[in-house]
Structure 1
C-alpha cells in the first residue's frame, strides 16, 4: 500500500534549493524534503521533547487546563471569561 502524501508550501527560493539538490542527488524532491525534515527533527529532538514536557506540565487533568492550553489562554483568563461548567 502506498503512503498517502500531503502537499506542503515553501517559498520560491527554498523550492529552487530542493529542486537543485534533488537533481544533483538523482532523487525526487519529496525524498529530499523527507530526508531533510527527518534530519532536522533528529537534530532538534531534545528541544522538541522539552516543548512537549512544558505543555504536559501545564495539564492537570481538568477541563480548564485543557481548554486553556488549546485556546492559548491561562486558566485565570478562562475563569475571567466565565470558567468551565462544573461537572458532578
Structure 2
C-alpha cells in the first residue's frame, strides 16, 4: 500500500473510547503481529485489492480476505480485522 496510490485508513477503537483513523497497513500489521508470533519487521508485503478495500471501508457490505505470511487476514466493512491460519 504505497502512498503514491493514496493512503487508506481504518477506523479503530482506542483505549480512550473514541475512534482513530489508522493507516490500513499499520492496522493490518498490528493485527497480524498481535495474533501470531510474527514481529512487525517480519511482515514485508501486504498485497491486497486496494480498490476493493476502499469500497468495503466506504460502506459496502462484506469482507475481504487475503493471505500474509501464511495467515488469512480478513477485514470486514466495519474495519474489524481477524487473523487465522
Normalised to the residue count of structure 1, the TM-score between the two structures is 0.23
Q: Which has the larger radius of gyration?
A: 1
Task: Judging by fraction of residues, say which structure has more helix.
Answer: 1
Query: RCO higher in 1 or 2 (8 Å CA, sep ≥ 6)?
Result: 2
Task: Judging by fraction of residues, say which structure has more strand.
Answer: 2
Normalised to the residue count of structure 2, the TM-score between the two structures is 0.24
